[in-house]
Structure 1
Amino acid sequence: MKLAILSRNSKLYSTRRLIEAARARGHVVRVLDPLRCYMRIAPDGFAMHYKGRPLTGVDAVIPRIGASITRYGTAVLRQFEMMGARTPNPSDAILRARDKLRAHQVLAAKGIDMPVTVFGDNPDDTDDLLSMLGPPPHVVKLSEGTQGRGVILTEKLSASRGTVEALRGLYANFLVQEFIAEAQGADLRCLVVGDQVVATMRRQAPEGDFRSNLHAGGSAEPVVCSRAEQQVAVRSAKALGLGIAGVDMIRSARGPLVLEVNSTPGLEGIEAVSGGDVAGRMIDYVAGLRR
């Protein structure tokens, strides 16, 4: 298999592990900076060039597209799809997952439980919008925030109102959710590959914070997820059209609640905690995809 990995940095842990796993299995692999890919689009065919040379014969593409280049990165991936390359995470699926509001709408339509979420635009509707959610604490999230950034906990109604009004003044896209106190600042990361959860970890927020993301200072430990939690993780990835995903959920009094589905999950933390060869499982899955 001739494999391309779309990544801006070949030295990142996740990218390096995918390269190692692919080469160990005899595949030819190349890392491509998506911002150096450019394309020709015409009725007579699609073409891609990279640093002055044509890119041809790519069998499969693994996208490791950062949030800051989502639009261009998914356009490059879409071009590869048009040229016949297979991918575990199609461009449209990445776009669905990156937009938190859209992802929540899709998941809710599939009956997947999550914290109650509200969204609105007009300042005149703020009080009624928050009443639809219920009493604080509330969690305010930027629609395209990553790694725990752009997530704010408001403990009073006045703080929720003020945060909403401030974000509207910045023309930011955001949503507001109920706060699940019984989670006690912990969440589960389930790494889904195809129809299976191949690795899991429990992340705990540092003292004084509620964000459990490792990039926000959280800690991680091994965990055994229940069958129900694994089923929710796989259903969530499938609902968004992702073959590979990191599904974040919390344990609540009413069962597992999905927080987010990450289309480009990092491997460093979960491989270290779980001890599994997650990169290898991903490569094996990609190699088995059909055009």
Structure 2
Amino acid sequence: MADKVFITCAVTGSSPVPDHPNFPKSCEHVAAEALAAAEAGASIIHIHVREDNGDQSTELDHYRRVVNAIRAKNTDVILNVTTGPGCTWKQSDEDPSVCGPGTLMFTAEKRLEHILDLKPDMCTLDICTMQLWGGVAINLDPMITKMGHMIQDAGVLPEIECFEAGDFVFADDLIAKGAIPANVPFSFVLGTKYGLPATTEAMIYSKNQIPRGAKWTGFGVSRHSFPMAAQAVLLGGNMRVGFEDTIYLRRGRKAADNSELVRWGVEIIDHLGRDVATPGETRQMLGLRE
């Protein structure tokens, strides 16, 4: 199992809807894409939800509908649900000391409402404070410490998403005080404008900052998706693909759906001499309950 790679598929995200006729928006479509991605070889499904028109949603009912629809047909795949919405601050043009339109700031309880209700296997935990999503993502220590304890108390495994170099120092401090578990897995988000660049050097740097033996996934956004996916495999990490990150297989060629992105990921892993982990093997790798 040491040489096996698990694949995460992030099926929809929360960014503006791209120009793609099959981009999943409704709860039913998101769940269908998740199930197809699992059938194609993804062990982990990363879940965001949207309104039917494609706008980002934070509604508990939407999370319930997606998770329950997946679980009704597949109880093996690992569900990794976002906690990202609720940390975006945008400055007012009239008064820079107050927030402006587009600000979305939640309490820890609101950001974790769906996690505490559904208790998925995993949830992402963004720990960056940086320019992101057209504003500033704010994830300060008191908030993240509280969220980390609440996630653990719910029996859910957090996955730390690192966007920039300082996030690794923050993660060390969180581990030291028990706010996140010692076996926490990491994701390196490469290629955002003001974050870690999508380069081999940045991924090696990121790998060298986390605790020895920690499981990690490296991925790039937009055109960097598959180059960084392959780089992660070469460096001993795991792979993430999906429409949250890109709708393209390569320049000028759109994927038909999320499952086609997963199948390309499976082929890359095979060509690089590694094997794809099953959901059960991935659970063992991450220390998740069967």
Query: Which protein has the bigger strand share?
Result: 1
Structure with bigger RCO (C-alpha 8 Å, 6+ apart): 2
TM-score of the superposed pair, with normalisation by structure 1: 0.32
